Every structure is written in structure tokens, then in C-alpha cells.
Amino acid sequence: MSTTTPAPSTGAEQASTETVSMEPVSTGSSLSLAGRGEGTAAAPSAPPEEHQYAPQWLELREPADAIARAADLLDPLRIRLANLPGRATALVVHDLGCGTGSMGRWLAPRLDGAQQWVLHDHDADLLHLATVRAPRAAGDGSPVTVTTRRGDLARLRAADLAGASLVTASALLDVLTRDEIGALAEACVGAGCPALLTLSVAGRVELTPTDPLDAEIAEAFNAHQRRGDLLGPDAVTVACEAFSERGATVRVNPSPWKLGPEHAELAQEWLRGWVGAAIEHRPELAERAEAYLERRLEQCAAGELRVVVHHSDVLALPRMTGGTS
């Protein structure tokens, strides 16, 4: 993928080109949120600046994410993008908490026309991987270029999205607070920019065959997701309210992972993270939960386990000039 010189930063974030410095970054809140979802390589109790999502985990989940994303939301999105003022120019897509860039690899080939992707993350290594692995062409063969910005999502403002055609994110909403989601909605609506926010946890998991401990583990995991001020499974509802209150039209579609024997490696890693978070929230579960995990991993290795992890995708369309949604 070619790179372009980024637009001047407003101060909320540091812009760069494909050459990304690799020094550690310490920020007030984590921006490397892609793939947070359920069970990650990050330590669940790590303070925000220590949340580093391993590329291996993000790559492991990428095929399941690609299948799960709600493609039905793309038609209304395409219609909106086709009617944007100045559509003769390239689409400018801001991907928040981009991780290794899986959203761009999924979405860019599904949209026509030249595109400039602005990849946001606080992790320099992930930004570098996202840049070098980004798609080179849109669905109709038009060029796709990329720039990167390192910084703090909590300080994102409408001015940072000036000229943006679209904001995207994956597995982001559930690790934000109510105030952060409100600020995100304010920035997008203030900039008149649609938002496609995919793969937020819905708080529901189905495992087949069932186990007596399923519900207790799920309850403890969901409580862990809501630790502090984080919204966890409540995030989609809060996001819909935040965008709607600001006049946007909001659509929500399910985007579940459906994991069978062919997804054994992903299912095993997800199980370890899911159970680990439950134990962290309720340490008294440890002995029973560890035995539960062993049973589930054995079933997974034998090809006997099927898992549905429910997510939701959100498309928010701010009012266009003249009041049209």
C-alpha cells in the first residue's frame, strides 16, 4: 500500500506516515482496543497503558471477525457514502483502535472508489503491521492509501475528523465508558461523519454441549467486562442512545462468532480468556472454573464443542445537510 502525507494534527493525536517509531508509548487511556472482545492476550487487570493486544491474538480472530461482521449494514452505508458532499474525491476513513488493520482488510475491498485510511492506535508496532498489511485496492480497483495517528481516543474531537467520510472500529465500544462513548458520538455527529462500529460484545454466549457451570462463568465474565466505569455488554445500548440523542439514525445487526471444530485454536484461546476473566472477577470460582476449563478444552480438542459468541454491529448515520438521514 502507498502512503500519503497526513493532514496536520489538531493536537489530540500525533500523525505519522508508514515509518512508525517503535518506542513505548504511555497514555492516559488505552487506544489499542481492536480485538479486545472476549479473552485476549492482554492481562485483564493491567492498567490502561499496559494493555497490549498481541498481534497473534488479533490475527487468530480475524477470519471469525470477517465472517461475523454484519454485511447487511453495507448497503445503507454505501448509499450514504455515495451521497456525501464532495464524493468525487477519495473517501477518508478513520479506523479507531485499528490493531493490525483487520477492519481495513475487510472493508476497503467492499467499497468502491479511491480511499484514504487514517489508522489510529497508541501501539506503534500494531500501526506498523496495519500499514504494511493494508489492502492496496478498493472493490473497483481504485487506489487505497494509508496514514497513521498515535494518540488517545478519549481526546478525539469533531475537529480531528474534519473531512472524514467514515469512522470505523472493531471490538471497541465494550471497553469504553459512558462518557467516552458520548464523546465519540459527539465527534462523529459534529463532523457529520457516519460510524460503523462492529463486533461489540452482547453479553451472551452459547456452548454446546451445555455444562452446569456455563451460566455462572458467563455472569462473572460479564461483570468483569463492567469493571470500573467500563460498559461491557451495555455498550451497544448506550452507543445507540448517544448517537440517537444527537439526531443520528442508528441501525444494529447481530454479528456472532460461530465456532466449530474448524475454529479449535480460536475457541481454545477464547475459552482461556473467558474463564480467566471470570476467575479474576470471582476468585472463589477458581477451583471449579479451572476444572471447567479443562473439560471444555478437551471437548474442543476432540471436535465436540461448538460456541456462539454474540456480538452486535452498529451503523450510525448523522443527519446530512438539509435534515436527511
Three-class DSSP category at 198 = strand
User: CB within 8 A of 276, min separation 6: which ones?
Assistant: 39, 44
Q: Which of 153, 154, 232 is nearest to 200 (CA)?
A: 232
Query: CA 158, CA 182: separation in Å to the nearest integer?
Result: 12
Is residue 141 a part of any domain in this protein? yes
- Bridge partners of 201, per DSSP, are 311
pLDDT bin (cut points 50, 70, 90) of residue 53 is: low
Percent of the chain as helix, strand, coil, to the nearest 5: 40, 20, 35
pLDDT, tens digit, for every residue of 295-310?
999 999 999 999 999 9
Tell whether 22 is covered by a domain: yes
Say if residues 130 and 118 touch (Cβ distance below 8 Å): no
Q: Please determine, for residue 43, whether its predicted confidence score (pLDDT) is greater than 80.
A: no
Q: Which of 119, 84, 114 is nearest to 104 (CA)?
A: 119
Read off the pLDDT band of 224 (50, 70, 90). Answer: very high
State how far the Cα of 49 lies from the Cα of 71, in Å rounded to an integer: 33
Single-letter residue type at 17: T
Q: What angle do CA 6, 8, 12 make, to 5 degrees?
A: 105
- Give a yes or no: residue 67 inside a domain: yes
Q: Give the domain range for residue 122.
A: 2-201+230-256+311-317
CATH of the domain at 177: 3.40.50.150
The answer to whether residues 318 and 242 touch, using CB atoms and an 8 Å cutoff, is: no
Instruction: Judge whether 291 lies within some domain.
Output: no
60 belongs to a structural domain: yes
pTM of the model: 0.84
| Number of Cβ atoms within 10 Å of the Cβ of 108 | 24
Inside any domain, residue 33? yes
| Distance of alpha carbon 82 from alpha carbon 313, whole angstroms | 21
Provide the domain count of the chain. Answer: 1
**194: Cβ contacts below 8 Å, ≥ 6 apart:** 77, 80, 81, 165, 166, 167, 188, 315, 316, 317, 318
pLDDT in tens, 1-25: 333 333 333 333 444 434 333 232 3
Which cell numbers in the block locate residue 46? 493491567
pLDDT at 73 exceeding the cut of 50: yes
* 224, 280 contact by CB (below 8 A): yes
| Cα angle: 263, vertex 264, 266; to 5 degrees | 70
Instruction: Tell me if 71 is assigned to some domain.
Output: yes
Rounded Cα distance between 58 and 36, Å, is 9
pLDDT single digits (tens) 162-216: 999 999 999 999 999 999 999 999 999 999 999 999 999 999 999 999 999 999 9
Strands 249-254 and 195-208: unpaired
Note whether residue 263 is domain-resident.
no
- For residue 204, the model assigns a pLDDT of 98
